[in-house]
Structure 1
Amino acid sequence: MLYIILAFIGGALVTLASIINSRLGKEIGVIQGTVINYTVGLICILLVCIFNGSLFKMSTEGFSGIPLWAYLGGMVGVAVVILSNVIIPKIPVIYSTLLIFIGQIVTGIIVDYIFGNPISKGKFIGCTFIILGLVYNSNIDRKSLKVNDTSNLV
């Protein structure tokens, strides 16, 4: 149960971070906002490592056995922040969050499949319902905006 709660909190923090980062990007620029985001993040993790003592236990010897692709997470993270900074000011937060979520689900299914986990009917049906729900809701919102636009003309 603890890990479910932590996953929920993590999801909420991803959404909050995306909103905060996009506002910063809107104020000072997408790339500059991303640099500030990662600089503040680096300072925070360095402070955590200093206070818990793990910074002083780090050794470069362990890095030699790590495959090169394992370091791509930072690059992918930069791409995520940049894309969020561009997308969130243009698309309502609920839709951008759902679209990001759909991207995560589809990617998760593909990665599971690549690593030998079959795609179940339940996963496929679940993804389909989420996508259909998003399309349905966006159509309702679009119609609602048209009605509001025409009522303002009177």
Structure 2
Amino acid sequence: MIILAMLGGILTTLSMIVNSSLGKKIGVLQSTCINYIVGLICSTLVLILLGSSVKVNAETFLKMPFYIFLGGAIGVSVVYFSNIIIPKIPVVYSTLLLFVGQVVTGIIIDFFVMSEISFSKLVGAIVIIIGILYNSKIDAKEVKE
């Protein structure tokens, strides 16, 4: 599982770089659209190759809460914003900021769902933010010199 999680992180970072490169060439919104069209094609091919089929009928869809379907909309937002951000700041900062956003969101969700807050995760997020700010000041000084 750890290897799969690391592979997911590697692929996420590579995806951000590839998508932002496409965004610079054809436009942010257009590259986001192409990203999801290619994703749809690949997902469909995987379903076909694995012999899976979508076995959900209209009744099942109507019983599902609306927020279940927000993943696609949130994914489009992630790709769109990444396509804007990646060309403007180094990839390492983008990746770390996305990570901090994930940790803080996880802390907030844990608070509302499980009524607990992880102090160590909060401290970790703050340390990473301080590290990013410190490192960006060092980078800015190097650019000026």
Please classify the TM superposition score into its range, dividing by the shorter chain length.
over 0.9
Q: Is the 8 A contact 2:16 2:79 kept in 1?
A: yes
Q: Distance in 2 between matches of 1:138 and 1:10?
A: 26
1:34 partner SS: helix
Under a length normalisation based on structure 1, what TM-score does the superposition of the two structures give? 0.89
TM-score (norm 2): 0.94
Counterpart selection for 2:56 from 59, 65, 74: 59
Q: Deviations over 1:93-150 (max 9, x none)?
A: 1111111111111111111111124223211221111111111111111111111xxx
Measured in 2, the distance between the counterparts of 1:36 and 1:67 equals 28
The aligned residue for residue 89 of structure 1 is 87
Matched residue, 1:105: 103
Aligned length: 144
After TM superposition, give the deviation of residue 4 of structure 1 in Å: 1.2
- Supply the AA of the counterpart residue of 2:55: M
1:78 aligns with 2:87: no
Cross-structure match for 1:33: 31
CA distance in 2, matches of 1:112, 1:143: 39
2:122 is aligned to 124
What is the DSSP-based 3-state SS (H/G/I as helix, E as strand, rest coil) of the residue aligned with 2:114? coil
The CA distance in 2 between the partners of 1:32 and 1:5, in whole Å, is: 33
Consecutive unaligned residues of structure 1, counting only runs of 5 or more, are 148-154
Regions of 4+ moved over 4 Å: none
CA distance in 2, matches of 1:78, 1:120: 29
Q: Is 2:32–2:79's contact at 8 Å kept on the other side of the alignment? A: yes
Identity %: 56
Q: Distance in 2 between matches of 1:99 and 1:124?
A: 14
Structure 2, unpaired ranges of 5+:
none
1:59 positional shift:
2.8
Counterpart amino acid of residue 33 in structure 1 = S
The residue type paired with residue 92 of structure 1 is P
